[in-house]
Amino acid sequence: MKKLLLFDIDGTLLTTDGASGRAFESALIDVYGTAGPIGEVSFAGKTDPQIAYELLEHAEIPRSVVKAGLEDLWNRYLKHFDNELLSHIVRPFPGVVECLNHIESKTGQALLGLLTGNIEPGAQRKLDASGLGFSRFQVGAFGSDSENRDELPMIAAARAKALVGEHPECETLVIVGDTPADISCGKVVGARTIAVATGVYSRFQLEECCPDFLFDSLENTDLVWDAMIR
């Protein structure tokens, strides 16, 4: 069975330099009249619905009210994000282009996938705006599939089965991400975990979560490939 390589997006493949956070804040205010304590709460490693529930809980908005507004929230978020993208550059991190190209050159050995807290159309916009391209990812699990990141590896695995006809064994799953939440969602299912310190968490903080591999960046293509595939 091929390896199923599941990449996180923000902090791992690229940065929007705050553009998606601003769009999220504007959308929350449009729909709920408040963005809660948005400046004090980290988005890192969380799914989009998880962030909305968490912020609005602080504002004492009942969960049922938040849930009823989510579809509207995503529509507003995407509109605000599209506006941000008119004047804003989304940058891939150093080495990411080379890393993804290398994986694609090894078609027999790995499926390229996403595992991200972004809602799917948000993921698509970020990857397309960065030039990395959304459509090259063969499999994905998104914040729009579950509020709980720990459920996303098995959703990605089920989609891989639909694609290749065989359910991937847990040991063929490889989760690549920049936060403790990426590492722990991989550990829940016995996946290999690769942490990269290009997001807000330091190498030291990630080390404490005991990922199988830890890199400062994805720049050393050969070492990263070896960690994913060996």
Interface residues toward Mg ion, by CB under 5 A: 8, 10-11, 178
Residue from 141, 163, 166 nearest 151 by CA: 141
The nearest distance, CB 2 to Mg ion, in angstroms, is: 24
Residue of this chain nearest to Mg ion (CB atom) = 11
Smallest separation (angstroms) from Mg ion to the CB of 48: 12
Q: Which is nearer to Mg ion, 8 or 147 (CB)?
A: 8
Q: Residue 96 Cβ, how far from Mg ion at the closest point, in Å?
A: 13
Cβ contact 126:20 at 8 Å: yes
* DSSP code string of 101-133: HHHHHTTTTEEEEEE-SS-HHHHHHHHHHHTS-
User: Which residue, 36 or 177, is less far from Mg ion as judged by CB?
Assistant: 177
CB closer to Mg ion out of 44 and 59: 44
SS3 141: strand
The tokens for 190 are: 């016995």
Our CB check for Mg ion shows the closer of 46 and 61 to be 46
Distance CA 125, CA 70 (A): 19
CB 6 to Mg ion: min, Å:
12
